[in-house]
Amino acid sequence: MSLATFWFILIAILWTGYFVLEGFDFGVGILLPFLGRDNTDRRMMINSIGPVWDGNEVWLLTAGGATFAAFPLWYASLFSGFYLALLLILVALIVRGVCFEFRGKVDSPRWRAGWDRAIFAGSALPALLWGVAFANIVRGVPLNAAHVYTGNLLTLLNWYGLLGGLTTLSLFALHGAIFLSLKTEGDLRRRARAAALRVAAVAVPLAAAFLIASQAGHGKVATDITAGLAAVALLGAVAAIYRGREGLAFAGNAVTLALAVATLFGDLYPHVLPSSTVAAGSLTIANASSSHYTLMVMTWVALIFTPVVLLYQGWTYWVFRKRLSPADLSGDHAAT
């Protein structure tokens, strides 16, 4: 295996970690106005992700940094062509982070309601746009022979891109509902389980349609297998939440997201950004990667520090593994 291929796989793993971990963060934010009947419910929902949401976003930073260092041409064409969409995602993520910090600063229902609406928007918009972006990366975008993007934002809003966006939006909402049923107690837990089943009624057909469209247009034998396993895992997650097996359901939905990312990156390989206009404009692992020396240095750094980061994040989840109940909340209006 070449180092360029190794880093393509590693970047796919980083995006998998981001979608699996940040996915339930987004899901909780999306469900906030629907499951949070009062401030106690909403505080429990926010507190369920309070200790981990910012750590989960490190996967995005690492994936972006790894892309910039390992495949600079991919990074340049991607971030220039998708500039407006990525700017909207970054603004939404910034707003969401500010909301978590400022929501509890003033003891006012109107103040908290405004921040809650911003949390919903800051969670739903990235959940939608990440799916749009990845669907277009697999489908291909208009790049000229100099690898310069020649489309606009509306170019990305094609039927396949929008189907990908609705799929990630619904899967993240499902992931968040299952997480809340796993992380909370009492009436909120029961309502989260019921919400998971309702969301699944939308997420399952959307995911099936997106995977079928992806494999019909870009599939390979290996990714046909991963797509089929993703479908099985999703159905297993729904069956598990129906039976009240929250832990098994969460694991099943996490496997679904991981296999979906593996399917998309497998369909993409050996390209990193295909051109839909001229073949010479397509970026591949070979023509978009950094030098062998750069990739070698990056590999040693990754081998040394990645286990440390994983151990620290795993320890964080272990420390905050306990279910939340209204009795765990302290103060009158603290957000975390």
E strand or H helix at 101:
helix 83-102
Per-residue confidence (pLDDT) for residue 332, from 0 to 100: 44
The answer to whether residue 336 scores a pLDDT higher than 60 is no
- Predicted confidence band at 331 (pLDDT cuts at 50, 70, 90)? low
Alpha carbon distance 161, 132 (integer Å): 4
The answer to whether residue 37 scores a pLDDT higher than 80 is yes
Q: Smallest Cα–Cα separation from 173: which of 139, 207, 214, 136? A: 207
Alpha carbon distance 268, 259 (integer Å): 14
The answer to whether residue 185 scores a pLDDT higher than 60 is yes
Residue 120 three-state SS: helix
Beta carbons of 259 and 45 less than 8 angstroms apart: no
| Mean pLDDT, rounded, for 91-120 | 92
Alpha carbon distance 213, 279 (integer Å): 22
- Predicted confidence band at 220 (pLDDT cuts at 50, 70, 90)? very high
Residue 328 has what DSSP assignment? Answer: G
Prior bond to 109 cis, omega within 30?
no
Alpha carbon distance 127, 34 (integer Å): 17
The answer to whether residue 187 scores a pLDDT higher than 50 is yes
Per-residue confidence (pLDDT) for residue 335, from 0 to 100: 43
Residue 186 three-state SS: coil
Beta carbons of 296 and 160 less than 8 angstroms apart: no
* Whole-number percent of the chain with pLDDT over 70: 98
Mean pLDDT, the chain, rounded, equals 93
The answer to whether residue 127 scores a pLDDT higher than 80 is yes
Residue 271 dihedral angles phi and psi, to the nearest 5°? -80, 160
Q: Smallest Cα–Cα separation from 18: which of 46, 69, 45, 54? A: 54
pTM over 0.85: yes
| Mean pLDDT, rounded, for 191-215 | 96
Q: Which two tokens stand for residue 188?
A: 């909120």
* Whole-number percent of the chain with pLDDT over 90: 83
The string of pLDDT tens digits covering residues 42-99 is 999 999 998 999 889 999 999 999 999 999 999 999 988 899 999 999 999 999 999 9
Q: Tell me the pairing of strands 283-284 and 271-273.
A: antiparallel
The answer to whether residue 334 scores a pLDDT higher than 50 is no
Instruction: Give the burial string for 204-236 (b: 16+ CB within 10 Å, else e).
Output: bebbbebbebbbeebbeeebeebbebbbebbeb
Per-residue confidence (pLDDT) for residue 152, from 0 to 100: 87
Residues 6+ apart with CB under 8 A from 319: 51
Contacts 24+ apart (CB under 8 A), 241-245: 241/178, 241/181, 241/193, 241/196, 241/197, 241/200, 242/197, 244/193
Alpha carbon distance 143, 12 (integer Å): 22
The string of pLDDT tens digits covering residues 286-317 is 999 999 999 999 999 999 988 998 999 999 99
Beta carbons of 325 and 74 less than 8 angstroms apart: no
Region for residue 244 given its phi and psi (left: phi exceeds 0; alpha: psi -120 to 50; beta: otherwise) = left
Per-residue confidence (pLDDT) for residue 330, from 0 to 100: 63
Beta carbons of 8 and 2 less than 8 angstroms apart: no
Q: Smallest Cα–Cα separation from 45: which of 332, 326, 253? A: 326
- Residue ranges per domain, the chain? 3-328
The answer to whether residue 183 scores a pLDDT higher than 80 is yes
Alpha carbon distance 98, 169 (integer Å): 22
The partner residues of 300 in beta bridges, in order of sequence, read: none
